Structure formats: structure tokens, C-alpha cells
Amino acid sequence: MRSWWRGTASVDEDKKPPQPEGAAPAAEPVEEERRGWFARLRAGLSKSSAALNDGINQIFLRRRLDAAALDELEELLIASDMGVGVAEEVVQALRRTRFGQEVTPEEIRGALAAEVARLVEPVMKPLRLDLARKPFVILVVGVNGSGKTTTIGKLARQYAEAGQRVVLAAGDTFRAAADAAGLAFDALQEAKNEAADILLIDTAGRLHNKADLMAELQKLVRSLKKLDPAAPHAVLLVLDATVGQNAHAQAEIFRQVVGVTGIVMTKLDGTAKGGVLVSLAEKYGIPIHLIGIGEGAEDLRPFDAHSFARGLVGLDG
């Protein structure tokens, strides 16, 4: 089955979101828009922040920062899916700077936000498009139900509204007579013929522990390289935040198989496990391009370390 979608749109310059050249559509620099996005981000992370805040309030209400309090905080951070390494770093930072002092829950949240921002800032990298490469090929991978197709739809809309010509290839290998590699090859040829700016390639959801399906992804990549040795120019791994620490196994396998260049973290609004993004950043260092906190196209935005860190602990922007 051959299936692809094409789209372009012209946008009124007064309404078109400004963005760096070659970058994914970014949040508007207007302060009101920034506050609006942060409010949605904070609301989306409310399940994660509520769990953290409840624990911090119980630990640090009228209490000195002693060894027992730090042990409890470390356990809380691990339970919040931040991972053992991140929890140890946060606790050691507090031990060096505030040990033996009386601290308020608000001070702990501020210190935690600062440490989280420091840990995730190195992976805060926008998805940059080299539009000198026409089409710029983006391959989107992930397990079943992670939000790949929804993410592609949002990206396609954002790029089209920014005036770029987009071709979307829907590669579903579970349909009869479907061949993902052949479909990707044909879609790239079609995108070249139409002088498209961007080719977004969807892939069927696959469990990361199924060797035959992972091999199929490698075959798809080889088929693209027959037409463009540099393709795909970006490989996005879509991860569902609700799976918590299971995201680590997915990241490990997909990066080995297809060379993941960036992560999109979805469904942060549906889980108390938002801290997994921090542990992923600390362990793998894979760029985190985008995060999703809702169903609308406007709810998929470039990852910002400072805003995420403060939203994660329930602080104002």
C-alpha cells in the first residue's frame, strides 16, 4: 500500500510564529505567549509536581537538612523516576550547600529545580532543519502507542503553517502487502520530484525487543540511502512519559539499531513520571528536541530546560 500526504500553507506574517532559520517551529518570544505556554506546561506536569511536592512537604516541614532528611529525599526522587544517578547528584549538591541548616519546602523545590535544569540543559537542543537538503528526511520511530503518528501530524501542521512544503509517508508494515522499505523509497522519490522541503516518515509501532521488526527498520534506512546517502537526516524517537523507567530500554535499543538523533517526549500531562526525562538526559545525553503536553498542535513545543525544571516541581516560571 502506498500512502503519502502533501501540504503547504501560506501564513500571514503578522501571525506566523518567528523561528530561527532552519529550526523547528518555536514558541513565540512575546511574553504573553511565553507565559501562556508555561501555564500549560505547569498544568501538564501537575501530576508529577504534585507527587514531588507532597513528598517534599512531608520531609521538610520545620526540619533541618540532616542525613535522614537527605535519605528520604533521595528515595522520593528515585520513586519519581528521576533515576538513582540523578537522585544522588541532587542530594550531594544539597549536602554541600545546605547541610545542617533549616530549610523550607519552597527552598528545597527551588534548589531541586536549579539542579534539574543544570542536568538537562546539555540536551536542550532544537530540531534544526538543513533545508539546503531537499527534502530534509525525518524518520520517526518508537513502540506501539507512544504517540508517533500524533507527533508527526503536529509537526506536519506546524511546518506547513510556516510555509514549508511537506510530504508525509505512512509506513504501516502490518497491513497486507505493505513493505515499509519500498514505501519509504517511493516516498523519497516522490518528495524529490515535487521539490518538497521536508519528508516525514511514519513507521509502524514495534516493540524494541523484537529483532525482526528492528531489522526491518534498518532495511528501511538502507532503502533511503540508495536515493540520498545522507538520509535520514534526523531520526526521532518518540517516548511515552507514562512508561517511566521502561523508556530507558527503548532509548538504548533504538539508538543502537537506527542511530537516534533526538527524542520527543509525549504524554507528560498524563503521568506522575515526568522525572524520567531527567534520568534519560543524564544517562544517554541524546538531544531532547520536543515535549508534548496535550492533543493540540500547539501543545508540542521545543524542550526548554528552565521551564521544564520549574514546572516539574510546581514553581512559577
pLDDT, tens only, 74-125? 999 998 888 888 899 889 988 998 888 888 899 899 989 999 999 999 999 9
Q: How many CB atoms lie within 10 A of CB 173?
A: 17
Pairing of strands 102-103, 63-64: antiparallel
In angstroms, the CA 163 to CA 150 distance is 20
C-alpha cell at 278: 531527567
DSSP H helical ranges for the chain: 31-44, 46-60, 67-79, 84-98, 105-120, 148-161, 180-193, 211-227, 246-258, 276-284, 305-312
| pLDDT of 146 higher than 70 | yes
Q: Report how far apart, in Å, the C-alpha atoms of 209 and of each of 205, 213, 249, 257, 260 are.
A: 12, 9, 9, 11, 16
The pLDDT assigned to 9 comes to 40
The mean pLDDT of the chain is 84
pLDDT band for 213, please (50, 70, 90 cuts): confident
pLDDT band for 68, please (50, 70, 90 cuts): very high
Minimum mean pLDDT range among 116-125, 200-209, 220-229, 284-293? 200-209
The pLDDT assigned to 217 comes to 87
The pLDDT assigned to 236 comes to 96
In angstroms, the CA 47 to CA 90 distance is 21
The pLDDT assigned to 210 comes to 67
The structure's pTM equals 0.84
The pLDDT assigned to 207 comes to 62
Q: Tell me the average pLDDT across 186-211.
A: 85
C-alpha cell at 170: 505512512
The pLDDT assigned to 177 comes to 43
pLDDT band for 60, please (50, 70, 90 cuts): confident
The pLDDT assigned to 287 comes to 95
Minimum mean pLDDT range among 17-21, 33-37, 228-232? 17-21
Residue 138: name the closest of 124, 151, 147 by CA: 151
Pair 215, 173: CB distance under 8 Å: no
Side-chain-side CA neighbours of 228 within 13 Å: the count stands at 22
pLDDT band for 136, please (50, 70, 90 cuts): very high
Q: Report how far apart, in Å, the C-alpha atoms of 303 and of each of 119, 267, 282 are.
A: 14, 14, 15
| pLDDT of 57 higher than 70 | yes
